[in-house]
């Protein structure tokens, strides 16, 4: 299911890679360092922090609910087991007028993967549209290949079709949206 034009979750936002990247009116993603910056959390009125890493320890600030799910950034990690529970948690926070910060170590793979799952489930976006949108908000996102496989399976569960497919490349299996990029990297 492709989102209709103008249906993207946030209208005016600036892409960010060092701070908190706003993806929807109530969801941000970031690195672990940004997630521990009290000024950033306060400025963006974050009420919930979800840490999807084992290596980042959150500084806990009063008035913010913290959840930590220790997951390695490895293609064999089963992040798909978290797609529904984390998406549901983000949605529940939004219904209570709160704001969620989803982070991992760098804000590139694990948090981005869970963000894409949330956008598919609660914003009815295809995986392709969710990726285009999230990348416009946080240009450095790049889920690992195992997470892509899990997202592709999840998209099929939700919508009965896929907008992204895994393809063979000189670097191994990659999502087809990276094909041109890989071709430019590999000399003929």
Q: Which two tokens stand for residue 111?
A: 């948090």
Residue 137 known to be catalytic = no
Residues taking part in catalysis: 104
């Amino acid at each position: 299911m492709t989102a209709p034009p103008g249906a993207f979750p946030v209208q005016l936002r600036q892409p960010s890679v060092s701070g908190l990247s706003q993806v929807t009116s109530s969801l941000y993603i970031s690195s672990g360092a940004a997630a521990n910056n009290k000024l950033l959390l306060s400025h963006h009125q974050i009420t919930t922090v979800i840490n999807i890493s084992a290596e980042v320890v959150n500084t806990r600030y009063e008035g913010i609910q913290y959840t930590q799910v220790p997951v390695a950034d490895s293609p064999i990690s089963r992040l798909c087991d978290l797609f529904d529970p984390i998406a549901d948690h983000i949605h529940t926070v939004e219904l209570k007028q709160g704001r969620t910060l989803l982070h991992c170590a760098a804000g590139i793979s694990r948090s981005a993967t869970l963000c894409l799952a949330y956008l598919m489930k609660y914003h009815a976006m295809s995986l392709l549209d969710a990726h285009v949108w999230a990348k416009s908000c946080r240009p450095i996102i790049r889920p690992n290949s195992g997470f892509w496989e899990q997202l592709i399976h999840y998209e099929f569960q939700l919508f009965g079709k896929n907008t992204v497919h895994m393809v063979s490349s000189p670097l191994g299996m990659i999502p087809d949206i990276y094909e041109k990029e890989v071709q430019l990297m590999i000399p003929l």
